[in-house]
Amino acid sequence: MLQHARDLLREVYGYTDFRDAQEEVLAAALAGRDTLVVMPTGAGKSLCYQLPSIMRPGTGLVVSPLIALMQDQVGALRQLGVRAAFLNSTLAYDEQWRIIEAVRAGALDLLYLAPERLLQEDTLSLLAGVDLSLIAIDEAHCVSQWGHDFRQDYLGLDVLRDRFPGVPRMALTATADATTRDDILAKLAFDSGAKRFVSGFDRPNIRYTVRAKTDANAQLRAFLEERRGEAGIVYAMTRKKTESIAEMLNARGFTALPYHAGLPGDVRATSQGRFLREDGVIVVATIAFGMGIDKPDVRFVAHVDLPKSVEAYYQETGRSGRDGEPAEAWMVYGLQDVVRMRQMVDMSEADDQHKRIERGKLDALLGWCEVTTCRRRALLRHFGDDLPEDCGNCDVCLTPPETQDGTTAAQKLLSAIYRTGQRFGAGHVIDVLRGKDTEKIRQWGHERLSTYGIGADLSVTEWRSFVRQLMVQGFVRADDARFGALRLTADARAVLRGERTVRLRKDASVKPRVRTVSQREVFEVDPKDQDLWETLRQCRRDLAEEAGVPPYVIFHDATLKEMLHRRPVSLEEMLAIHGVGQAKLERYGAAFLDALHGEENPEPAGAPGSSSQGEIREELSWQDH
C-alpha cells in the first residue's frame, strides 16, 4: 500500500520522498482511521489528504473555508492530472450541475466544499448516495473558539460522523496549541481513538534576521537589492507608510504594490492577483494582507516596523518559503518603535487586563529581538518546542553578537538619565553623554552635569542599542505619559551602586556586515546562467498565462533551478527532476527542453556536465529499487 503511495508521489507530484510525518498520516488514513494533523505552514498538509483520496475508492471531500484557496488548489491538482473540482456559489448553474453529475458518477478524486455548502441538506443527501474515500477538514482550528479564527459554520461539522459513518475523517491545521487541539476533536465529534500528528513549529528553511534600525528605507533597499526579481512581502505599520515605501521601491526599479484596508476592494484584488501570478512582485502591506495567501514561492517577509507579538510575527513570516526553499524573515526595529507600540497599547480602548496582556506580549517580542542566543531556539521555546541544538540559520548563529561587560556603560547611561531628571527621551540623554553642544542642552544647563561628555567614546547607534538592551533587561523604562521619557526602575539602583553587573551586546550593525551564503549556494543561480534562467522563467510565464494559472503552479523555482543545474536532454531525464511528474512532463516537458537547449544554448556532447548527470541518473534509478 505504502509502496503504491510512494509510486504515486513520484508519478503524480514528481517528488521522491515523503516529508516528516506525511507517510505516517497516510498510513493511518489508508487504514481508515480518524486523524488530527497539526503541521506548520508549508509542511505539506495537502498531500496528506490528497493521496489517500486518490488511492482509496470513492471521492475525497475537502472542507475549506476560503473560496480563493479552493480554486488555487483545484487548479494545481488539475495540472497534476488529478480529477478535482470545487462546488460553490461562484460557479454558474449549469457548471454546478456538471459537477454534481460527476460526483454521482464517481468521476472525481477530490471535491472541495465550503462548510456551509456541505451542510446544506441537498448536498448531504447527494453525498450520502455516493462512495466517499475520506473527509478532510482543512483549517480545522476554525471550529474552536480557542483558536484565532473561529467560524460559526464549522460548528455544524460534527454531523459528518453520523451522516457518513465509516468514512475516515482528517482534521488539519497549522496553528493549534494543546487546548485548541482537544477542542477541535471534541467539536468535530472525533472518537478518543483518533490519531494525532503534531509536528513542531520549526520552519528550518526560513532564516531569521533582526537588525537595529538606523535608516529603515536604506536598510530595506540594501536588503532588497540582493534579492532582485524575488517575490516578497514588506510589512509596515501605517497605510501611509506602505504607500511611500512602495513608491520608493518602484522608483528604484522594483515592482512594488501597496496594500492596506483603506484601498478599494478591486485595487486590492488586482494587487493580490498580480502578486500571485506575476514573478518577483513585492507587496508593501499592513497586516491587512496575508490571510489566505497560499503562494509557495514568497522568498522573504520584511518588517520595517515591529509586529504586535511573537505569535503575529511567526504567522506573518510563516508566509515565506512554503515551498521549502530558502527564505528570509528580516526585520529592523528601533527604540522609537518600542515607545510607539507602548503608547498605542496604553492609549487603546481596551480594559486594564487586556492592556497588561498586550504589554506582556510586546515585552516577549522585544526580549526575542534582543536575544544573544540562537534566535530560532528562542522562537520555538516561545511555542513550547525545544530545538536540541543551535540552528545555524539565524543571524545570531551566523554572526554571533559579541557581548561585553557593559556595567560601566550602563552606569554612565543610568546616571545621565537620573541627573537630567528622568524627563527626557533617549535622543537628549545621548547628546548629554556624548557632550554635544545643542540648544536644549544649554537651555537646561546640562553641560554642567558630571555626566556631560563622559560617553563621547561611543557612537549614537551604540548608545541607542544600549538603551534598548537596558530596557529589555528591565533597568530602564519609557514613561509613556511623558512621551517616552526614560525612567529608572528599582533594579537600576543596584547597577548604579555597583552591586550588579550588566552584559551588553555590541550591536551587529556596528560590525562589518558579513553575508553568508552557505545555505543558499546550492540553489543559487550561477551568474553565467542568468540568461538561461530568465529564459526558463519566461517559458514558465508563457505557459502559466496560457493555462490561466500562477507561474508556480507550472513549476516551482526549485524545479527550474534543478533544470538549470542538471540540463536534462531528454524527457526521461526531465522526469528525474524534483517536481516533474508524469502529467506535467507530458504537458510542459518539451517546452522546457526547448527553452534549455534553444539555438543559442546547444549542450556539446561530452561536456563536463554530462558525466555528473549520468551519476545522478544512476543514483535515482538505484533509489527506485
Regarding 342 and contact with Zn ion (CB under 5 A), the answer is no
Q: Residues 115, 147, 290, 296: which binds ligand ADP (CB under 6 A)?
A: 296
> Residue 391 touches which of ligand ADP, Zn ion, none (CB < 5 to 8 A by kind)?
Zn ion
Q: Of the candidates 502, 593, 458, which has an alpha carbon nearest to the alpha carbon of residue 539?
A: 593
Binding letters toward ligand ADP, positions 306-345, x by CB under 6 A = ----------------xxx---------------------
Phi, psi dihedrals of residue 308, rounded to the nearest 5°:
-80, -30
132, 237, 397, 549: which one contacts Zn ion (CB under 5 A)? 397
Out of 111, 119, 245, 374, the only residue in the binding site for Zn ion (CB under 5 A) is: 374
Point out which residues pair with 393 in neighbouring strands.
Answer: none
What crossing angle do the helices spanning 22-30 and 45-55 adopt, rounded to 10°? 30
Contact characters 18-57, ligand ADP, x per CB under 6 A: xx--x----------------x-xxxxxxx----------
The answer to whether the CB of 60 falls within 8 A of the CB of 50 is yes
- Residue 229 C-beta: closest distance to ligand ADP, Å: 20
Instruction: Determine which helix (DSSP H) or strand (DSSP E) holds 501, and give its type and residue range.
Output: none
CB-nearer residue toward Zn ion: 384 or 598: 384
* Residues that contact Zn ion, how many (by CB under 5 A): 6
* Nearest distance, CB of residue 16 and ligand ADP, angstroms: 7
Residue 396 CB, nearest approach to Zn ion (Å) = 5
E strand or H helix at 346: helix 335-347
Q: Which is nearer to ligand ADP, 15 or 383 (CB)?
A: 15
Binding test (CB under 5 A) with Zn ion, winner from 391, 433, 492, 595: 391
- The binder of 374, among ligand ADP, Zn ion, none, by C-beta within 5 to 8 A per type, is Zn ion
Looking at the Cβ atoms of 207 and 322, the one nearer to ligand ADP is 322
Least distance in angstroms from the C-beta of 434 to Zn ion: 34
Give me the phi and psi of 108, to 5 degrees please.
-120, 140
- DSSP letters of 546-592? HHTS-HHHH--HHHHHHHHHH---SHHHHHTSTT--HHHIIIIIHHH
Minimum distance from residue 508 beta carbon to Zn ion (Å): 13
Stretch of 59-67, 361-369, 389-397, 467-475 contacting Zn ion, by CB under 5 A: 389-397
Residue 258 binding: pick among Zn ion, ligand ADP, none (C-beta 5-8 Å cut-off by kind): none
- Give, for 414, the enclosing helix (H) or strand (E): helix 407-419
Over the window 492 to 531, marking each residue x when it contacts ligand ADP by CB under 6 A and - when it does not, the resulting string is ----------------------------------------
DSSP-assigned letters across all residues of 109-169: SEEEE-HHHHTSHHHHHHHHTS-EEEEEETTGGGG-TTSSS--GGGGGGGGHHHHSTT--E
Collapse the DSSP code of 211 into the 3-class scheme (helix H, G, I; strand E, B; otherwise coil) and give the result. strand
Instruction: Tell the smallest beta-carbon distance from residue 46 to ligand ADP (Å).
Output: 3
Q: Minimum distance between the CB of residue 41 and ligand ADP, rounded to whole angstroms? A: 4
Cell of 276: 500571485
Element (H, E) at 247: helix 239-251
DSSP bridge partners of 234:
284, 302
- Residue 13 contacts residue 581 (beta carbons within 8 Å): yes
Least distance CB 38 / ligand ADP (angstroms): 10
Task: Indicate which single residue of 8, 11, 15, 161 sits in contact with ligand ADP (rule: CB under 6 A).
Answer: 15
The one of ligand ADP, Zn ion, none whose footprint includes residue 468, by CB under 5 to 8 A per kind, is: none
DSSP letter (8 states) at residue 394: B
Single out the segment in contact with ligand ADP by CB under 6 A; choices: 14-22, 234-242, 337-345, 419-427.
Answer: 14-22
* Gyration radius (Cα) of the chain, Å: 28
Degrees (nearest 5) of the Cα angle 208, 213, 218? 95
- Return the percent helix, strand and coil in the chain, to nearest 5: 50, 15, 35
Nearer to ligand ADP, 232 or 406 (CB): 232
Q: Which three cell numbers stand for residue 323?
A: 515551498
Cα–Cα distances in angstroms (integers) from residue 514 to residues 44, 400, 508, in the given order? 33, 11, 10
Question: Using CB under 6 A as the criterion, which residues of the chain lie in contact with ligand ADP when the complex forms?
Answer: 15, 17-19, 22, 39, 41-47, 296, 322-324
Question: Using CB under 5 A as the criterion, which residues of the chain lie in contact with Zn ion when the complex forms?
Answer: 374, 376, 390-391, 394, 397
